Amino acid sequence: MIETDKRLAALAAVAEVRAGMIVGLGTGSTAAFAIDALGEQVRAGLMISAVATSLATERHARAVGIPLIDLPATIDLTIDGADEIDDACHAIKGAGGAMLREKIVAAASARMLVIADGSKRVARIGAAKIPVEVLPFAEAFVAARLADLGGAPVLRAGFVTDQGNRILDCRFPVDTDMRALAAEIAGIPGALGHGLFLSEVDAAYIASDGVVTRLERGARTR
Ligand code: 5RP
């Protein structure tokens, strides 16, 4: 069952948390299992502090008793979900719309773990929508640039990010060079963040039918 697999993946990642760590808390239904598990450990005496990647995660963490701090210069370990992940730990994130803060927290983290059920594991990322957070002022301009890149952007209806911005969901051709694409999107003025996580993820716990597989990327490239 998918919910059981999400929970198993989350528990495997939470087992890497040690006393005294600053932990980055991801956003989404899989990350929520990790927050629940960490909350239980905190209530049992584990001393950690945490940084939330969204307002929803902030509320959840407070509700289960996890002490929160503002984003520091460095985070020890971040645990977050993904919409797609391949065996080299390239990921697409942002179906929940939190990828801008998630990317910042990931970049600040000495180690980032993705947790997911087996439906998220793919041979090559690119089928999932790639979300782009856009400053409302720049929406039409950024949409036109993304269309030029082949992304067929669609405004996420009725959705406003935690930062007060909008999201353009894109679908690029499956054979797109994702690294080149990430650089192109990052270079569009008004595009504030995107869901391609190509260098941030150090390892992933993927659970399928109750069995957890650990994927570990090679040397970190950033
Ligand atoms: C939010 C995210 C989520 O981590 C991602 O969408 C996975 O969510 P879920 O665990 O609910 O499938 O990137 O911005």
Q: Tell me, yes or no, whether 187 and 78 share the same domain.
A: no
Q: Tell me, yes or no, whether 80 and 135 share the same domain.
A: no
CA of 32 to the centre of ligand 1 (A): 10
**Long-range interactions of 2-7: CB distance < 8 A, separation 24+:** 2/117, 2/119, 4/207, 4/210, 5/117, 5/118, 5/207, 5/208, 5/209, 5/210, 6/30, 6/33, 6/115, 6/116, 6/117, 6/207, 7/33, 7/207
Q: Tell me, yes or no, whether 134 and 118 share the same domain.
A: no
pLDDT, tens digit (0-9, with 9 covering 90-100), for 103-117: 999 999 999 999 999
Confidence band (pLDDT; 50, 70, 90) for 222?
A: very low
Domain that holds residue 183: 130-193
Whether the CB-CB separation of 201 and 216 falls below 8 Å is answered with no
* Residue 115 domain flag: yes
Q: Is the ipTM of this complex over 0.90?
A: yes
Please list the active-site residues.
102
Nearest CA to ligand 1 atom 1: 96
203 annotated to a ligand binding site = no
Q: What is the domain count for the chain? A: 2
CATH code where residue 207 lies: 3.40.50.1360
